[in-house]
Amino acid sequence: MSNPIAKIRNFMSYQPVDTTTAAKFLPMVSVVVPIYNAEVDLPALIGCLSSQTYPKDRVEYLLVDNNSSDRTLTLLQEAAANSAISIRALSENQIQSSYAARNTGIRAATGEIIAFTDADCHPQPQWLELLIQPFVNSEVVIVAGEITALPGNSLLEQYAELQGTLSQKHTLAHPFCAYGQTANLAIRRTALEKVGLFRPYLTTGGDADMCWRILQQNIGRLEFASNATVHHHHRSTLKELASQWRRYGRSNRYLHELYGVELMPEMKLPEYGYRLVRWIFKELPKNIVKAIAGKASLVDFFDTPISIFVIQARTTGQKNAQLSENAKLIAWL
């Protein structure tokens, strides 16, 4: 396999969009959202979708229940019957995977552009309009929008905000090959026809896998629409944070097995000790001085311990993950 790092610039496009031309470019769009046990999130999600500035007659919203045990499917069916926008309530109850649910939505979609977000995301009013604009360039086949944080006051949320944990800037700068997260992503249907759909049994890493399959086959370019934003909650408890970073570790292991991606280095015990000693004897005193001057926040004091915590969670996820044979299968239209 040729070195994808050398191709990143060719894969990605940052050409400015002619706003006059883009205003006349109104392809049919299908927005696919996988949903699992999200009855609490649905009112805000549907409210955000209803507020989109993209013409209502040029977009359909395919909300796919993934075998929820709460009232999600009932609420989706009610929304489909009563909403002013075109909502289609679908169900994927054979495979428990967000990627299988997305495939169900893609197969039912009528749009030439397929956009993706998640149930716990809050797409901003111009999200879809701005996400679609770059497709006016026929060479663009993938567009990633930005993911920003909803307001949060806890220490862990402040830490994640400081690190920009959710931002697409991390995935777009991936050392193997750029990709966009499915929380804010759009793909031409023609690209999916050529490379296939998501791997339905994969539980994490499917967004990278999809983008890499498209980009490595030189079907077209990826563009970053930085103003096309969705808001997302940061994790607010240690349990949630650990789960998030274990999932990142599992994703890295799966992508390693699929593509040979380099595994994240495991932090050894001496390095843990060194970082903690450095924190206690150097960083804490320095931040105390800064706090006295009003220039340090609580997250500054605990940045290192939290970083060690998430690194360990990621390492655990990476070490314990094993890609099943089923997870290697690609679904097709």
Structural domains in the chain? Answer: 4-236 (3.90.550.10), 257-323 (no CATH)
Q: What mean pLDDT is predicted for residues 36-52?
A: 96
Q: What mean pLDDT is predicted for residues 128-153?
A: 94
The string of pLDDT tens digits covering residues 59-92 is: 999 999 999 999 999 999 999 999 999 999 999 9
Query: Is residue 31 scored above 70 in pLDDT?
Result: yes
d(CA 91, CA 73): 8
pTM value is 0.89
d(CA 150, CA 304): 23
Whole-number pLDDT of residue 270? 86
Q: How confident is the model at residue 8 (pLDDT cuts 50, 70, 90)?
A: very low
Q: How confident is the model at residue 128 (pLDDT cuts 50, 70, 90)?
A: very high
Q: How confident is the model at residue 160 (pLDDT cuts 50, 70, 90)?
A: confident
d(CA 105, CA 88): 9
DSSP letter for each residue of 77-126: HHHHHH-SS-EEEEE--SS--HHHHHHHHHHH---SEEEE--TTEEE-TT
Q: What mean pLDDT is predicted for residues 282-296?
A: 89
Q: How confident is the model at residue 9 (pLDDT cuts 50, 70, 90)?
A: very low
Query: Is residue 171 scored above 80 in pLDDT?
Result: yes
Query: Is residue 16 scored above 70 in pLDDT?
Result: no
The string of pLDDT tens digits covering residues 213-268 is: 999 999 999 999 999 999 998 888 999 999 999 999 999 999 999 999 999 888 88
Whole-number pLDDT of residue 149? 87
Whole-number pLDDT of residue 209? 98
Q: What mean pLDDT is predicted for residues 143-164?
A: 89
Whole-number pLDDT of residue 312? 94
Whole-number pLDDT of residue 7? 41
The owner of tokens 């604009």 is 133
Question: Using an 8 Å Cβ cutoff, are 226 and 184 in contact?
Answer: no
DSSP letter for each residue of 216-283: HTT--EEEEEEEEEEEEPPP-SHHHHHHHHHHHHHHHHHHHHHH-PPPPPPPPHHHHHHHHHHIIIII
Query: Is residue 3 scored above 60 in pLDDT?
Result: no
d(CA 173, CA 273): 30
Whole-number pLDDT of residue 308? 94
d(CA 115, CA 265): 34
